[in-house]
Amino acid sequence: MSSRDFVYGKFSDFYSDPSTAIPPPTLLSQREVGFLLFKERIMLRHKVFARISDLRLFLGEAVPSDVYRSCAYYENPAAEMDKKGWLGADLVFDIDADHIPTSCNRIHDEWACSKCGFSGKGITPETCPICGGQKFDTKTWPCELCLKSAKEETAKLIDMLGKDFGFSYKEMSVFFSGHRGYHVHVENEAVKTLDAMARKEIVDYVSGLGLTIKGGKARVRSAKRHAFRDFSLHDFGWNKRLKLGLQNFLLKATKEDLKNTGIKGKAAAEILGNKELILKRCVEEGLWGSVKGVGVKTWKKLAEYVKDLESAKIDTVVTTDTHRLIRMNGTLHGKTGLKKVEFPLRSLEDFDPFKEAVAFKEGTVKVFVSDAPEFRLGGNVFGPYKRQTVELPTAAAVLLICKGRAEVAS
Ligand SMILES: [Zn+2]
Ligand SMILES: [Zn+2]
């Protein structure tokens, strides 16, 4: 049996199984549904389903490798793009390891320009540095560390959406994407009709884009001695985030950490030697000028650095696109055979994608693995493998085949 037929068969079993749960999105009949077909490798778009039972029937017959639905609501979802009659869209965020710089991406991620073949390791560039091409063949891995980073970014995003934008936990949903990240959806009447520009403003806020931190030299002669006119942080929004961020950073900061922010020499020594005083007098009480040798310039550098730590690394394009198709909850990801799954916001910290998203829980299969790093799935650890035949649980075999790292052994 070819590897593709094997995976197709597993996906087919999954979608035909009546016990497979596919929770319908709100107002399914107003959404556009799209599919990527296994065999033809083409995208079917502009589909509409009145009921989830109709969609399930279709999935069982067509067996797509990927299933998407629009974030938008339409009068006529099946019409051509400009005739759909846009009624609104949920606010969606995509946090993907592809956009987060991690220390491991240079180990497990590779890219090659489709046009000129130039290749490299780590995060795929937007344009090829040699020919300017924008299409790449990529080889990535849903690695534990990368998913942990994606989860941290998701936590920051949810915190901002809750505290700074005032969305309730009821209005937000969080999902594992089935591959290398998380999705956050906000469904509420106020966001529904926001246009692309308004959504861009939200993107800028959560990613800290355009946030300027005041800086200069002047010291205020005011009632509050040791306060700066050109550096101060109040207790709301980003100001508060910077303040808490500074606190966290300074608590643990080493000489090396400070060097990363661009602070060396006397200023660094002053900070490291007066940590408690700085945390109390400066950060807590706002008397930023109360430690000699730590001036506006230093604070500005620190704040800029902390801004990067506190911002949420999202895929900005996804949020601003008001016609975006996003993977449907409960369906399989064609690159992994894992499910997109929703979980309670409160369990973000404990959520384990390598357990909760496993779809194929029975049987084993013999595969020839060309190359795979060590990985964990469904409570077991596998690999690393290099050019060897192994018998694996179905889910692990499907993952390796979908990632192009293994073939069914004959
Ligand atoms: Zn190129
Ligand atoms: Zn990684």
Mean local confidence (pLDDT), 205-234:
72
Q: How close is the Cα of 99 to the center of ligand 2, in Å?
A: 12
**Percent of all residues in the chain with a pLDDT value above 70, rounded to a whole number:** 97
pLDDT in tens, 307-350: 999 999 999 999 999 999 999 999 999 999 999 999 999 999 99
Mean local confidence (pLDDT), 403-410:
93
For residue 139, what pLDDT is reported?
86
Contact 327, 177 (CB under 8 A): yes
For residue 201, what pLDDT is reported?
97
Instruction: Quote the CA–CA distance of 110 and 189 in Å, as a whole number.
Output: 42
For residue 79, what pLDDT is reported?
97
For residue 222, what pLDDT is reported?
52
For residue 217, what pLDDT is reported?
46
For residue 224, what pLDDT is reported?
61
For residue 218, what pLDDT is reported?
46
* Phi, psi angle pair for 37, to nearest 5°: -90, 135
Q: Which helix (H) or strand (E) holds 10?
A: helix 3-16
Instruction: Quote the CA–CA distance of 15 and 7 in Å, as a whole number.
Output: 12
212 contacts: CB under 8 Å, gap ≥ 6: none
For residue 216, what pLDDT is reported?
45
Does the pLDDT value for residue 101 go beyond 70? Answer: yes
pLDDT in tens, 121-130: 988 899 999 9
- The distance of Cα 376 from the centroid of its chain, to the nearest Å, equals 20
Closest CA to 263 of 305, 307, 298, 309: 298
Does the pLDDT value for residue 220 go beyond 60? Answer: no
For residue 105, what pLDDT is reported?
84
For residue 231, what pLDDT is reported?
84
* Helix residue ranges, H only, 132-217: 144-163, 189-192, 196-207
Reading the block at residue 410, the tokens are 């004959």
Q: How close is the Cα of 137 to the center of ligand 1, in Å?
A: 11
Among the bound ligands, name the one nearest to the CA of residue 130. 1
Contact 157, 150 (CB under 8 A): no
Q: What residues does the ion ligand 1 have nearby, CB within 5 Å? A: 113, 115-116, 118, 128, 130-131, 133
Closest CA to 207 of 296, 342, 345, 310: 310
Q: How close is the Cα of 101 to the center of ligand 1, in Å?
A: 22
**Percent of all residues in the chain with a pLDDT value above 90, rounded to a whole number:** 80
Among the bound ligands, name the one nearest to the CA of residue 114. 1
In this prediction, residue 388 has a pLDDT band, given cuts at 50, 70 and 90, of very high
Contact 337, 404 (CB under 8 A): no
Q: How close is the Cα of 403 to the center of ligand 2, in Å?
A: 15
Among the bound ligands, name the one nearest to the CA of residue 112. 1
Among the bound ligands, name the one nearest to the CA of residue 109. 2
DSSP, res 29: G
Instruction: Quote the CA–CA distance of 225 and 50 in Å, as a whole number.
Output: 67
pLDDT in tens, 2-40: 999 999 999 999 999 999 999 999 999 999 999 999 878
* Helix residue ranges, H only, 183-236: 189-192, 196-207
In this prediction, residue 88 has a pLDDT band, given cuts at 50, 70 and 90, of very high
Q: Which residue has the tokens 């296994």?
A: 38
Q: How close is the Cα of 139 to the center of ligand 1, in Å?
A: 16
Residues in the chain: 410
Contact 205, 164 (CB under 8 A): yes
Across all residues in the chain, what is the average pLDDT?
A: 93
How many degrees, rounded to 5, is the angle at CA 122 between CA 120 and CA 128? Answer: 45
Beta bridge partners of 47: 33
Q: How close is the Cα of 314 to the center of ligand 1, in Å?
A: 26
Beta bridge partners of 43: 36
Q: How far is CA 2 from CA 6, 29, 34, 242, 271, in A?
A: 6, 37, 26, 54, 63
Beta bridge partners of 335: none
Mean local confidence (pLDDT), 70-96:
97
Contact 23, 330 (CB under 8 A): yes
In this prediction, residue 214 has a pLDDT band, given cuts at 50, 70 and 90, of low
